[in-house]
Structure 1
């Protein structure tokens, strides 16, 4: 029997590539996103991709959908990838931008975890993978909303792993750098070590199959940010401020 996974944010970018990669490797994939049209296009000619049009921040819709699943439906892997990014200006912090960003990046993750965790195929070493970002490793300009939301996701995931330590569920924190997606194409700054989403999808697939608890890629960016964090705090802050002006 084919293994089954569920991937949120599946209609574009890294989520779309990961969905296609899992499907190409024989998995039955529940592809979750808001855009029904994009999901239908994604599932075209792929019998093992099941499109699911859902908003991850809508707890009522998630509860209704999970309750309507066939009796005994279980997932061998759940990948919570849905996310958004909005930059803010310090002179006029946009409260609505913070609310939107945290609604998807944090509350959406918590909401999905609440309703999908019981559906993991316990006894068969399932994986709950949650996508954060390397953005929270270093204070980047205008990233107060995005970086803070991803820091919250990382903490949530690590804490969740502690509370699931007595189960056979593998909790995997995924912290990508810059991935070439419609979201990052809006950036107006240089993105070092930009990675193709297909490459990121393979890293995720291989890492989850190997039961990794943390995935960081590209490695060169991860290494660079780790070095920056070894600097004395005051020096690191000065460097971040200097980078903002470039």
Structure 2
């Protein structure tokens, strides 16, 4: 039996690569994103169905989920990957940047979970996978909006796993480090242990196939940030300040 997944943020970066990877492995892929042109190009690949959708529009998410449900679509995997990053200045916090960042990184995840999750219930092995980031492990400079949104996403996924434990739906939290995508290519700072997007998609695919609940990579960055988190709080803050000045 052919498996079916829905992937958000599929027009570029990790989402696009995952859509291609799942389709290449025989899945039917509903690729959701705001950019219709990029989705139409992606949908030229066999097994990929374009699903133009503004994830900041809750009514549009609900309408799309209803249409899929009425069409008899059953999802085996709902992979919520869409995200954005905006850096802010602490001395003049851009409230609009916080609103935009949380709208796509957090609120859209909650809304997509609410309206698309019913499509998982008829699957024999339903999976809900949510992409967060390692960014919230450490207080990086100018990352107040991005890091806070990803901390919220990770907590949401972990709490959701507890409450869905008896539902049959497994919840998987994906926390990558730096991945070479159009989003990270805008960064003007060094990104340690940068992972090619093709490798990131392969790691996520294999880990979800294996049923891993928490997926973190690259391991070297994960271990480094874990060790930093063990430092006394004041020392960790001073280290973050020194990193900012470099």
Return the TM-score normalized by structure 1.
0.98
Q: In terms of mean alpha carbon deviation, does 171-180 or 59-68 score higher?
A: 59-68
2 CA distance for matches of 1:122 and 1:169?
Answer: 10
1:128 has 2:123 as partner: no
2 CA distance for matches of 1:67 and 1:189?
Answer: 43
Residue 139 of structure 1 aligns with which residue?
139
After superposition, the Cα gap between the structure-2 partners of 1:153 and 1:183, relative to the gap in structure 1 and judged at 3 Å, is same
SS in 2 for 1:41: helix
Residue 209 of structure 1 aligns with which residue?
209
Instruction: State the shift of 1:171 in Å.
Output: 0.1
SS in 2 for 1:208: helix
Instruction: State the shift of 1:194 in Å.
Output: 0.3
Residue 23 of structure 1 aligns with which residue?
23
1:5 has 2:2 as partner: no
Residue 240 of structure 1 aligns with which residue?
240
1 CA distance for matches of 2:203 and 2:193?
Answer: 15
Instruction: State the shift of 1:126 in Å.
Output: 1.0
Aligned positions of 1:66-77 closer than 5 A = 66-69=65-68, 70-77=70-77
Contact preservation (8 Å) 1:11, 1:42:
yes
SS in 2 for 1:154: helix
Contact preservation (8 Å) 2:19, 2:29:
yes
SS in 2 for 1:38: helix
Residue 49 of structure 1 aligns with which residue?
48
Return the TM-score normalized by structure 2.
0.98
1 CA distance for matches of 2:127 and 2:67?
Answer: 22
- Cα deviation digits, residues 96-152 of structure 1 (max 9, x gap): 000000000000100100101111044512110000000000000000000000000
1 CA distance for matches of 2:121 and 2:160?
Answer: 17
SS in 2 for 1:225: helix
SS in 1 for 2:179: coil
Instruction: State the shift of 1:71 in Å.
Output: 4.1
Instruction: State the shift of 1:72 in Å.
Output: 2.9
Contact preservation (8 Å) 2:74, 2:123:
no
Count of residues paired in the alignment: 245
Residue 80 of structure 2 aligns with which residue?
80
Instruction: State the shift of 1:47 in Å.
Output: 2.5
Q: In terms of mean alpha carbon deviation, does 68-77 or 31-40 score higher?
A: 68-77
RMSD: 0.9
Residue 189 of structure 1 aligns with which residue?
189
Residue 219 of structure 2 aligns with which residue?
219
Instruction: State the shift of 1:42 in Å.
Output: 0.9
Instruction: State the shift of 1:168 in Å.
Output: 1.5
2 CA distance for matches of 1:147 and 1:127?
Answer: 25
